[in-house]
Chains A and B, each alone.
Chain A
Amino acid sequence: MEMHAEHIEELAEGYALGALEPGERVRVEQHIAACPPCKRHIDSVEDTTHMLAFVATPVAPPPRCKLKLMEKVAREQFLQTPTRRSRTVNAMSMWAAVATVAFIMSGAWSMRLQQQLSEVTGAQNQIQGQLASLQTERATMTAQIAQLTTLESVVVAAEAVRSLHGAGSAANASAKTYMTPGKNEAVLIVHNLPQLPPGKIYQVWVARPELQQPLTMFNPVDTTEPVPLQPPEPMDSYNWIMVTIEDAAGAQQPSKDTVLFGEL
């Protein structure tokens, strides 16, 4: 192609408006990939062109659009970002309100949040003065629904449940792992773990004879606490799962302070 034979200024407006014939569009794209001055010119014409969007009357989309979007965003983040502290901590705080696994499974909480969300959204249109606080509340709820839905889907889809037993300083604690063979995604739901002293954190491990794999860390805020797990290999490739008490930064080797232990 004689890409540099001539510049493409005369096609800039048509390109920015999306009004070129397919062949012309390809010509522009090939040209600006190799010609910075023309790229800058096109960028500038595009910036003006897209001001035309303001001709259309703005219309508020229904709340379900935002719900679906935020759920998709949260789900992607959950799946793409393994064992990030901030995510775990976020997931923790929301679960303070969730009392039992049955409640999670029923979806009742999710429905209630959805209902509350739509009420809040409706109120927002009427009460301009409270806009800021309502928006914050709505954001929190949307995020909660999205995270809940993600964890819930893992639990609901689980094909196997494994029990963990309390030990050491947490003899009254128990836990269950909801997992599916072949999948790198599981949820650990713990009950009755004691509150930790400052500077300490619970850490989840999966292990087999030659390997002890550190997973996520958490600090429970309620008697029942779900912990998302994303091991590097499928859950059923490990023999054991356990929870230890570690210094707040976490550890690469488990301490002797095991509080929950179970076989996978």
Chain B
Amino acid sequence: MAQVQQPPADAIRDEQLIEDVARGDRHAIEVLYDRYSSAVFGLALKTLRDREAAEEAVQEVFWRVWQRAKSFDRNRSFAPWLFGIAHNYCIDELRRRRARPQSVYEDDEHPILSGIADSTDVSEAALESEQRRIVQSALQQLPVEQRQALELAYFGGLTQQEIAARLGNPLGTIKTRMRLGLQKLRGILQGQYVPEQG
């Protein structure tokens, strides 16, 4: 970890900021936005594959953060909570769009498997870049079929049954890949320094 830039020592922790947001501090939501809007926009772009829809998503996700800040569980980390809100929004929106008859969001247009570590163009300014680096390196240690199952669900909005049908594998196999993949990911992450994972 020595070669990686560390967050500034005086940076306010995410969990402190979200408590400030819960008290109605507009500056705090702005700091969180500056810190994470690129990650959320990237997630929305990758999931929805539509710039306009992704812009909507960013606004709506941070609006929900503002509205739900009081329900944030202090015993958990902020980033997964934020991404949970973002992911739920994007998957709901994706499925809503797929359900529309003339939708351009045909399943076949969605890539089966995104490339390994989508890009090297990682935002340097973002405080979350350290977490990002750790997670991407952890994911590269997963067997490719586990990672494929996780990404098809997380970014493709496919259910376990749909993934099984798509890949021609038994449902139980897909469930096992997901379980093992997440267990391994967790194990790797727990053994490393992740700033927001106390």
Listed in ascending order, the chain A residues whose CB lies under 8 Å from chain B are 10, 13-14, 16-21, 43-62, 64-66, 68-70, 72-74, 76-77, 81, 128, 131, 135, 139, 142-143
Give 6 pairs: A residue, B residue, CB < 8 Å, sorted on A. Answer: A46-B80, A51-B185, A57-B122, A59-B45, A61-B54, A66-B30
Whether the Cβ atoms of B158 and A59 lie closer than 8 Å is no
Known A-B contacts A49-B182, A81-B24; A57 and B118 likewise in contact (beta carbons under 8 Å) = yes
Q: Which residue of B lies closest to A40 (CB)?
A: B75
Which B residues touch A47, using CB under 8 A? 76-77, 80, 197
- CB contacts (< 8 Å) of B22 on chain A: these are none
Contact B155 A69 (CB under 8 A): no
Q: A14-B160, A54-B131 are in contact. Are A73 and B45 (CB under 8 A)?
A: no
Determine if A128 and B125 form an interchain contact, defined as CB atoms under 8 angstroms apart.
yes
Q: Do residues B159 and A19 form an inter-chain contact, with CB atoms below 8 A?
A: yes
**Residue of A with least CB distance to B120:** A57
Task: Tell which of B12-20, B57-65, B97-105 binds the partner.
Answer: B57-65
Q: Which of B37-69 contact A (CB under 8 A)?
A: 37-43, 45-47, 54-55, 58-59, 62-63, 66
Which B residues are closer than 8 A to A by beta carbons? 24, 26-27, 29-30, 33-34, 37-43, 45-47, 54-55, 58-59, 62-63, 66, 73, 76-77, 79-81, 83-84, 86-88, 91, 114, 117-119, 121-123, 125-126, 128, 131-132, 135-136, 138-139, 150-151, 153-155, 157-161, 163, 175, 178-179, 182, 185-186, 189, 197
Contacts A49-B182, A58-B41; A65 near B77 (Cβ below 8 A): no
A18 contacts which of B73, B87, B118 (Cβ < 8 Å)? B87
In order of increasing CB-CB distance, the 8 nearest A-B pairs are: A50-B83, A58-B38, A19-B153, A50-B80, A53-B83, A17-B153, A54-B135, A56-B42
Task: Report the Cα distance A232→B76, complex, angstroms.
Answer: 39
Across the interface, which residues of A come within 8 angstroms of B27, CB to CB? 139, 143
- Which residue of B has the minimal Cβ distance to A125? B125
Which residues of the partner chain B approach A10 to less than 8 Å between Cβ atoms?
Answer: 175
Q: Which residues of A contact B135 (CB under 8 A)?
A: 51-52, 54-55
Closest chain-B Cβ to A87's Cβ sits at a distance in Å of: 10
- A13: which B residues are within 8 A, CB to CB? 175, 178-179, 182
Contact present for B88 and A18 (CB under 8 Å): yes
Check if A55 sits within 8 Å of B139, measured CB to CB: yes
Does the CB pair B33–A69 fall under 8 Å?
Answer: yes
Contacts of B185 in A (CB 8 A): 48, 51
Q: Which chain B residues lie closer than 8 Å to A50 at the CB level?
A: 79-81, 83-84, 87
Flag if A143 contacts B26 (CB, 8 Å).
yes
**Set of chain A residues within 8 Å of B86, measured between Cβ atoms:** 53
A65 to chain B, nearest CB (A): 5
**A58 to B39 CA separation, bound complex (whole angstroms):** 5
Query: Contacts A46-B84, A50-B84 hold; do A74 and B26 have CB atoms under 8 A apart?
Result: yes
State which of B62, B114, B179 has its C-beta within 8 Å of the C-beta of A55.
B114
Once the chains bind, are B30 and A70 in contact (CB under 8 Å)?
A: yes
